[in-house]
Amino acid sequence: MTGDRQKIEVKHLTKRYGEVTAVSDLTFTVEPGVVTGFLGPNGAGKTTTMRMLTGLVSPTSGTATIGGRPYAQLRRPSRTVGAVFDANACHPGHTARDHLRVYAAMGGYPDGRVTELLDLLDLAGAADRRTRGFSTGMRQRLNLATALLGDPRVLLLDEPGNGLDPDGVRWLRGFLRRLAGEGRTVLISSHVLSELQQLVEDVVVIRRGELVAAGPWSRLAGPPSVLVHSPDADRLAAVLRDHRPDGDAPRVDAAASGRPDGHAARVEAAAGSRTDGDAPRVDALGGGRLRVHGLGAPEVADLAAAHRLRVHELVTERADLEQRFLELTKELTNELTDELTDDTGIAA
């Protein structure tokens, strides 16, 4: 199973529970070979979407497919998709080995696969202990072992970092990178964005069941900013704001939204794209500190030197995932408010 046969595709997916819309016209694609973060606050619709991908919840409209097929139409689902939705899915009276043997028997997998996964997930030493005494990290490892019994090429992991200590988070990052490096499709949801900062390569961001942005994190984040410490901060800020740099800034692939109603344009705008000749944005942080967007550290240093302005420190900062998420969702909220005002003449 390679390429398109393990690609996740969600197209115009909607789920309503009575008057409540949990997921609204959601469209995105998850590619193999990278870890994709499925991001949003609690209640955004992440778990509902993942359950629709695995056939546990039926969509009201739209499609959720793996390799072009709904989960129910996959020939050997457990060999295609492994999913973790509940950290407490293990029976407290079972040992780790017994737990895996039950699921192996259901899937028709040999007992040797159980031993192999206990070793792989570093659980061999605890294989015959009852899971009621397991830490959260050990239970998460056992859940991953269960999901991997069929050696699936697609993994859906709902909040797998919940309750993990820093060592557990580091272990999880390394393990998931390794799985993606083997060419698997890995979709991991989380509302704790800091846990994913050093893990994900692609992101899908949703809010209230709607797509906010989708694409490579490096492009959604936009170019890095520069933190400047200068005793001449006010004068330097004026110089930087008057400067007109040349060159293109990275742009997000707005086509990922799949929306015909202008939402794609909002996604691209939210990604912080800039055009040639745009003035840099300079934020005064107080205490002689500035944050500069749209110029690199060498350009800031050259402009300061050309105007004989003192600079004590220059630090290049990549956008923080949580900060960027908050910016994206805030921009979407503001645009939706503007649209409502335009349509009704009344501010929401």
209 & 233 share domain: no
The more confidently predicted of residues 203 and 252 is 203
Burial of residue 308 (CB within 10 Å: 0-12, 13-18, 19+) is: exposed
Residue 102: the pLDDT is 94
113 & 189 share domain: yes
Average pLDDT over residues 99-106: 94
Helix count and strand count (H, E) for the chain: 11, 13
In three-state secondary structure terms, 274 is coil
How many other CB atoms are there within 10 angstroms of residue 322's CB atom? Answer: 15
Average pLDDT over residues 246-269: 43
CA distance 205 to 10: 13
Structure tokens at 30: 């998850």
CA distance 230 to 274: 26
Q: What pTM does this model have?
A: 0.73
Range of the domain at 286: 221-344
Taking only Cα atoms into account, the Rg of the chain, rounded to an integer number of angstroms, comes to: 24
Task: For the chain, give the percent of residues with pLDDT over 70.
Answer: 80
81 & 212 share domain: yes
66 & 189 share domain: yes
168 & 299 share domain: no
pLDDT at 51 over 90: yes
Which domain-ending residue is among 172, 196, 217? Answer: 217
Structure tokens at 29: 């694609």
289 & 179 share domain: no
Rounded to 10 degrees, what is the CA torsion of 227, 228, 229, 233? Answer: -130
263 & 316 share domain: yes
244 & 197 share domain: no
Which domain-ending residue is among 175, 196, 217? Answer: 217
112 & 213 share domain: yes
Residues 260, 266, 267, CA angle at the centre, nearest 5°?
90
Q: Where residue 68 falls among pLDDT bands split at 50, 70, 90?
A: very high
Rounded to 10 degrees, what is the CA torsion of 191, 196, 200, 204? Answer: 20
Q: Which helix (H) or strand (E) holds 27?
A: strand 20-30
136 & 12 share domain: yes
Beta bridge partners of 228: 290, 314
* Residue 283 dihedral angles phi and psi, to the nearest 5°: -105, 125
Residue 5: the pLDDT is 76
pLDDT at 204 over 60: yes
CA distance 91 to 130: 9
Tell me which residue of 191, 106, 181, 182 sits closest to 150, measured CA to CA.
Answer: 106
Structure tokens at 319: 């956008």
Q: Give one word for 148, left, alpha or beta, with left for phi > 0 and alpha for psi -120 to 50.
A: alpha
Task: For the chain, give the percent of residues with pLDDT over 90.
Answer: 56
306 & 194 share domain: no
198 & 298 share domain: no
Which domain-ending residue is among 196, 217, 238? Answer: 217
Task: Indicate the average pLDDT of the chain.
Answer: 83
| CATH number reported for the structural domain that contains residue 195 in this entry | 3.40.50.300
pLDDT at 111 over 90: yes
Structure tokens at 330: 């805030």
Q: Which helix (H) or strand (E) holds 61?
A: strand 61-66
pLDDT at 4 over 80: no
Specify the number of domains making up the chain: 2
